Structure 1
Amino acid sequence: MSGPMDGRAEDDGRVYQTTGDQHITEHHHHYAGSSPAAGGGPDSVRRPAVGRTPLALRDRGEVLARLREGLAPGRGAGTYVLHGMGGCGKTAVAQAFFDIATTEYGRVGLWVNAADRAALRAGMLAAAADRGALDAELLAAHQGHRPAADLVWHYLDGSAVPWLLVLDNADDPAILRDGGWLRGSTRGTVLVTTRRAAARWWPGAELQHIGVLPREDAARVLCDLAPHSGTMAQAAEVADRLGRLPLALTLAGGFLAHQVIDPWTMDHYGGRLEGDEAVGLIDQGADVLSAEDPRHLVGRTWQLTLDSFEARGLPETVALLRLLARLAPEPLPLSVLNHQDISAVLPLARADAALTVLLDHSLTQLVDLDGLRCAHSHGVLLDSVAVATPPADLAVLDATAARLLDAAVPSVPDAGPYEPRLRLLAPHCLALLRRTTERSGTEDALRVATRLAVALHRTGDYLSAWETAGAAAGLAARTLGEEHRLVLAAYARTGRSLFRLGRYEEAERLLRRVRDTQLRLLSADDPDTLDTGQGLQLVLGNSGRREEAVALLRSVVAGRQAVLGARHPATLRSRASLLAMLSAAEIAAEADDEGDDVGDNALLAVPRLCTLHLGPDHAVTLSARHNHARAQFVLGRHRAADDEIRQVVEDYRRVLGPDYPAVLAARQLHAQTRAALGYVDAGIELMAEVVVGRERGLGPTHHFTVVSQSLLEELRSGRWRPPSPPE
């Protein structure tokens, strides 16, 4: 061959030219770097491969002190596992410990990213190279000619200088287990950061949970990053909205610190953390000049785990998390999930396994509240999952959440002892109302929330009932309108609870507004209108407008008898209310008009009818007997009233619990009957106990408390006189 050579070579390529017969054999080995041992490894294992370094590590002193113990002279090999949900600051703690080990204890620090097999393998071989492994040995390990993990640990075990090895982001423990990468050594300490909480993955290791920050420390993180954006108190409010999650706090602080042209205050930022836009706003705090890392964004950090669920064939786990994301970042009783209605989203038989996976990946945690086992998930996590949920899935998820909550609330709420489980359901009902935007879904969620408010009210938890009903009505009105039947019913329940809280003026205004609207849109005899009237007459009667209250109550009794029937619990409740409202002369007149005290139509026969149709322990029956004892008392039948109210107090305590509000009302009447029979000291003692109970439960300024205090003073001064029989 003659002539100029026209071949060209680039990079490591070579061109061969010959004029005779030549036989050329070449072996090609391709590497990402110049060294055959490099194998595409990290640029450094001596520095933590982290994103933004915290200005100050807050509230991790106890954890670091425990880790320091493993570096003390004479301590043997130690493996520590920092576990917790994404964004809680595990890597930040590991970085702080890394700095302590290298600067204060003279350890060689080795930092390896264990997020996937390739990164782990490359990082561990780089650590072996740091500890003296030869290029030929590393090349053989890369090519699979010798076990890579054995090579790495051979050099770690033989290190002349003690070391600290950090395996960061080890969220798939199987990678460490299958390759034999996680071992102990007398020459060093291993620290693992992971989202996987189950102890079975980390045999022999000391586990340390890393959670969210305390309120004050969370506020300090924001002030560290954006000191001119607001006060500590304002920062604490923002921190609460962010769930005190370190990643969210860091992003929020970064956003506030970089607003130059039009700086934001913390109050302004906190006010924008509402709705589906909150996650996007938080992630705006990421450094736009750095490469996007999903672990550094709240909107994507958990998507890594969800993607792994899909890849591993665990769609039920994704479905369960999306279902939880329709609810609140508050403890959810596990019994709510143990219901057949969950099958619309995932098979009930798979719900337990799906929850176990979420627990293992720190996407939720179990908490025990007075013996009630609950699942608790972080708010930023739930918001992120909710935003990323496919729109086509929302209707089924919302309907399923509503049915699960519906099944957890009593179908017919009745009076009874305080039930902590009911209060736990309230934030989830309200969260569902915030999430759902479909009209039918809003109606379903509002029905559940209103019935829950009734249940809370009837267990004596008036504050929770007021908060639940009022918030539910306001949320639902955005979709249904202020004059929707269900919204009006929720507002009516709000007014009933306001009355029990002693806020009579507010209760009257609200109940009058609701009733006027119901009269205009529905009718006077509509069950909802009658229910509002029942509540309004209570306010009027306790505000000194007895005649107006009696007139309204009589109209409610007539309406309920016509619409619901004479035996309906609501009708009997209203008739029993007359016994508590009428004067002695009015009760006597009714008895004369009816001819006797025992006929089915007789007012004084209501307790017997309640016992017959509702049962002796029904709340309406107990209330009717209580009011009947009051009627006997005002009629001057003091002995009969004393005998009856004593038994009512015992039955109240047995059925409703000793702390139920009606117990104090019955004991107050019992104090009066005792005094009326001449046992004044016993009456004073009883009345003093009632005052203490009402001050403790209602406060010193509540109307009921003031009435009780006044009665006690009259008994003590001798000014009190029992009612006389009507002439």
Structure 2
Amino acid sequence: MTTPNGEARPSRPTTRRGFEIAIICALTLEADAVDALFDVHWDDDGSPYDKAEGDTNAYSTGAIGRHHVVLAHMSGMGNANAAAVAANCRASFPNIKLALVVGVCGVVPFSPTGEEIVLSDVIIGDGVIQYDLGRRLPDRFVRKDTLLDSLGRPNVEIRGVLAKLKGIRLRKQLISNMNNYMDVLRTEPLLQAEYPGTDNDMLFEAAYRHTEDRQSCERLGCNGGLVPRSRLGAGQADPQPSVHFGLIASGNSVMKSGEDRDAIAKAEGVIAFEMEGTGVWDSIPCVVIKSACDYANSHKNKVWQRYAAATAAACAKAFLRHWVPSSSAHAVAEKSDREGRQSVHHIPFPKNRHFVERTDIIEKLRRMLFEESKDQQVALVGLGELVKKLNLRCARDEDAKESVQRYLSSEDAGSWFLVLDNVDDVEILDGTSQQQGIYHFLPEHDNGRVLVTTRSQEVAVGVAGRAVVRLHEMSSEEATSFLEKSLIRKDQLQDTKSMVRLLEMLTYLPLAIAQASAYININDITIRDYIRLFQKTDGDIVKLLGTKVRDRTHYDVSQGAVATTWMISFDQIRQKGDEAATLLSFIACIEPKAIPRSLLPCARAEQQLTSAVGTLCGYGFLSRRKGNEVLDMHSLVHLTTQVWIEGQGVAETIRKSVASHLMEIFPSDDWENRELWRKYLPHTLRILGASGGVGVEDCQLGYWAGRCLYADGRMQEAVKLLEHVVAIEEEALAEDHPDRLASQHALAGAYEANGQIKEAVKLLERVVAIREEALAEDHPDRLASQHALAGAYEANGQIKEAVKLLERVVAIREEALAEDHPDRLASQHGLARAYQANGQVEEAIGLLEYVVQIKARTFSESHPSRLVSEDLLRYFWIFNNTYNCAFALVFKAFLAVVNWLQFASLD
């Protein structure tokens, strides 16, 4: 049989794995137009196909030309819905090679080259820009457009097809075929695929606005200036839809502003606006094909929607004539039948005599596979080689060779059990455009069961849906038993302290334990000797973890090396080119534990970060703490990742990128930010300490980290870091550069708090001298350094100098700042303290009482600034024999501190 195009009609796929094309539509009218162009509807030719567990999508299946096509009906518009639909579609139809996002869009009236675009013209996207991802500043929006923040290019195959279609002959052919398919759609009256007329194609000037959103232009009498177009001139026949290739802007809101449309088009070079492309782009190789139903301005209406939906569907079908399937359904069926008749032999490995039974896992698998009988396919997923050392005895009890042979040679296979071991690459599972993956050949029968072992959560879910068993690290008892069985010299078992230390260092990973015991056995060394080797440099540790161990229970020697195993997984993640590889490299440069999710780079959108975290958690490289807002990386994985990126020659580039990101998000040292910067500090100090310390480009990050260390009371660390920052800036920046002076000011404060008073005075005198020469007397930076110098004078016993300087600072700030301004209150507090030290007790008490009164109105009871002033006033009262007032204030301060400590303990 043939299709209406004269092409050979493909046979109905026997399973969901036979579909390679997905078409995704946001609106019912868009899906109706696509559905009407199906050459065959498989839903009308037998029972509908089932779906993967948890898939909430609605599908229509059929054929267009040589292609088996699944049409996904979205429940709503937008990139989030599109991303969910694409992910579910990939789960149910794992062999999808291409997704077409088909429907209507708003267009820019003129392309960057000046080509006219009119309503019903079709846009084929050769790239998608997420134009609404960025930062909203008070006066403008700044789009994130760096390499890490941008959607990637289409894959090589898609780029090749698009390049071919842009040629003169094939572009004409594409438009001709599209118009032929439009003739088919016009035969269905319910589609309303008739041209609405040039009178309804009005392009107002960009600045002319539609004043009432709920009223039509006709009802409102919109009469603004119209932009003339040569294709719509009077007396001409109705224009035929044309096809344009270009960038498409995708966002989460409808574009209804001519001025914003033109501004974005000019900045980004886009020719259309839509709302689903970004969501699909990262899930499945994708082409966006959308037709113009409006000009993305405030005059948009729905008059053109149905006709535009029809032209988009017609263009999508015309496009598929130029897309070559990986192989015809007939050829695949013949290949499957031929290979199904071949004998497949599987020789089990020798029994692992060091096997330590994981009883709970074994029993769970046995129930799922052989007792509950509801899951035909089960996946066992774990970090590195955890799944290897499970060494399933239930698999050994089955004659896999005979079971597989019986299944492949007979329709009546009988009972069988198939184990697919080490399926860690998605390409092995799904295949490529040149070769079918193993998932295509997995047997399906009520009497059969399949167990897949893998490091990849993506593979596990793709094969088994919800029937996934997560294999965690060994318990301390299991790890001890495994080590005892693996060591030749049993006298070493008496050194229990060293055994415990070794297992803790190896984090109870079975393959790492196997490597360590083999190394100890081969080199006839003690456990303590191995620990000493392990505690050397990071490179030495990874070399130990990469040592190949001969083991007849593995396929090859390299599988006995845990570091090698992980690096293979790293390469697989990198080759996929998604956010997970970027995230893996990012985390390699920071601390492996207690990683706040808010610290991570969200390159394009939250959904990409969620997907990247999910991928790394799926491999077992990351784990989520309760609440999912804090992550941890396995310490040995973290170490191996560092060596891996160094081996790629990109370690320094990544370190600079991480430091730049941290500088962008690192908070100020304000008390209100304390909870956040305490979480960020360990990771920031890690990156600042990498590659020999702070560089010029890192000074700002080092400055803020130093200030936060100071605010946290970690004075010695603050001094060390700020000294390094100042040394770098003194070489790189002019002596009056604001950044250099700010760092010197911060270092002087740390010196004073650390008891290095003379160093503080010397440094601040230099800062004050430069700022007094360069800045106005009421400049905040000048006053701040004078205030700090006065404090250093007081600490150094130079009381009169402190009083004189502070009186000048207070006078200026009282004139320039409001009475509750923190800087004004701080200088008054400092002057009161200097008065007390100078014997001016009454002046000190009077001024400090005023400060406490203002702070009581301004700050909470537990705010440190308020508590410090109240505590100092209590001291003044006691010193001046005003005991009753002092007791009342002490008790009040005591309650506030108790409340704060209670809150801190909860944190």
TM bucket (normalised to shorter chain) is 0.5 to 0.7
Distance 2:600 2:675 in 1: 17
Distance 1:467 1:283 in 2: 36
- Conservation of the 8 A alpha-carbon contact between 2:867 and 2:893: no
Match of 1:624 among 814, 827, 851: 827
Unaligned runs of 5+ in 1: 1-35, 103-107, 112-122, 158-163, 474-483, 491-517, 700-727
- Conservation of the 8 A alpha-carbon contact between 2:480 and 2:503: yes
Distance 1:611 1:223 in 2: 74
In the alignment, structure 1 residue 573 sits paired with structure 2 residue 784: yes
Distance verdict in 2 for CA 1:82–1:698, change over 3 Å: closer
How far residue 418 of structure 1 moved from its aligned partner, in angstroms, is 5.0
Within a 5 Å distance, the mapping from 1:227-376 to structure 2 comes to 228=492, 231-260=495-524, 265-272=529-536, 274-284=537-547, 286-287=549-550, 292-306=556-570, 308=572, 314=577, 317-318=580-581, 320-338=583-601, 352=609, 355=612, 358-359=615-616, 361-362=618-619, 364-365=621-622, 367-368=624-625, 373-374=629-630, 376=632
1:665 alignment partner AA? V
In the alignment, structure 1 residue 422 sits paired with structure 2 residue 677: yes
In the alignment, structure 1 residue 604 sits paired with structure 2 residue 865: no
Distance 2:507 2:666 in 1: 28
Distance verdict in 2 for CA 1:168–1:278, change over 3 Å: same
- Conservation of the 8 A alpha-carbon contact between 1:671 and 1:683: yes
Distance verdict in 2 for CA 1:629–1:56, change over 3 Å: farther
In the alignment, structure 1 residue 447 sits paired with structure 2 residue 699: yes
Match of 2:441 in 1: 179
Distance 2:670 2:874 in 1: 24
Distance verdict in 2 for CA 1:534–1:429, change over 3 Å: closer
Match of 1:84 in 2: 382
Distance verdict in 2 for CA 1:90–1:402, change over 3 Å: same
1:401 alignment partner AA? V
- Conservation of the 8 A alpha-carbon contact between 1:330 and 1:427: no
Q: Higher strand share goes to which structure?
A: 2
Q: Which deviates more from structure 2 when the two are superposed, residues 379-388 or residues 220-229?
A: 220-229
2:871 alignment partner AA? Q
Match of 2:415 in 1: 156
Distance verdict in 2 for CA 1:671–1:406, change over 3 Å: same
Distance 1:456 1:184 in 2: 63
Distance 2:352 2:816 in 1: 70
1:170 alignment partner AA? V
- Conservation of the 8 A alpha-carbon contact between 2:382 and 2:619: yes
Within a 5 Å distance, the mapping from 1:556-567 to structure 2 comes to 557-558=768-769, 560-562=771-773, 566-567=777-778
- Conservation of the 8 A alpha-carbon contact between 1:331 and 1:376: yes
Distance 2:444 2:828 in 1: 72
How far residue 409 of structure 1 moved from its aligned partner, in angstroms, is 1.8
In the alignment, structure 1 residue 207 sits paired with structure 2 residue 468: yes
Match of 1:712 in 2: none
- Residues 327-384 of structure 1, C-alpha deviation per residue, up to 9 Å, x if partnerless? 4433544444446xx6xxxx88996487267337415446357x67355433433443
How far residue 258 of structure 1 moved from its aligned partner, in angstroms, is 3.0
How far residue 256 of structure 1 moved from its aligned partner, in angstroms, is 2.6
How far residue 271 of structure 1 moved from its aligned partner, in angstroms, is 1.7
Distance 1:561 1:91 in 2: 71
Share of identical aligned residues, percent? Answer: 18
2:624 alignment partner AA? V
- Conservation of the 8 A alpha-carbon contact between 1:81 and 1:205: no
Match of 2:398 among 94, 104, 110: 110
- Conservation of the 8 A alpha-carbon contact between 1:71 and 1:189: yes
How far residue 602 of structure 1 moved from its aligned partner, in angstroms, is 1.6
In the alignment, structure 1 residue 127 sits paired with structure 2 residue 414: no
Distance 2:665 2:478 in 1: 37
Distance 2:781 2:649 in 1: 42
Distance verdict in 2 for CA 1:165–1:653, change over 3 Å: farther
Distance verdict in 2 for CA 1:372–1:166, change over 3 Å: closer
Give the secondary-structure state (helix, strand or coil) at the position aligned to 2:563: coil
1:178 alignment partner AA? H
Distance verdict in 2 for CA 1:64–1:616, change over 3 Å: farther
- Conservation of the 8 A alpha-carbon contact between 2:578 and 2:612: no
Distance 1:348 1:232 in 2: 50
Match of 2:453 in 1: 193
Match of 1:42 in 2: 346
1:210 alignment partner AA? L
TM-score in terms of structure 2 length: 0.48
1:265 alignment partner AA? D
Within a 5 Å distance, the mapping from 1:388-399 to structure 2 comes to 388-389=644-645, 391-399=648-656
Distance verdict in 2 for CA 1:338–1:204, change over 3 Å: closer
- Residues 143-170 of structure 1, C-alpha deviation per residue, up to 9 Å, x if partnerless? xxx7xxx65xx3117xxxxxx7644323
Distance verdict in 2 for CA 1:383–1:603, change over 3 Å: closer
How far residue 197 of structure 1 moved from its aligned partner, in angstroms, is 2.1
- Residues 92-130 of structure 1, C-alpha deviation per residue, up to 9 Å, x if partnerless? 33x2xx33x58xxxxx7338xxxxxxxxxxx6x64344x
Q: Higher helix share goes to which structure?
A: 1
* CA RMSD after TM alignment: 5.3
How far residue 268 of structure 1 moved from its aligned partner, in angstroms, is 0.8
Give the secondary-structure state (helix, strand or coil) at the position aligned to 1:302: helix
Match of 2:423 in 1: 170
> Higher RCO, 1 or 2 (CA under 8 Å, sep at least 6)?
2
Distance 2:657 2:699 in 1: 14
How far residue 291 of structure 1 moved from its aligned partner, in angstroms, is 6.6
Distance 1:310 1:292 in 2: 23
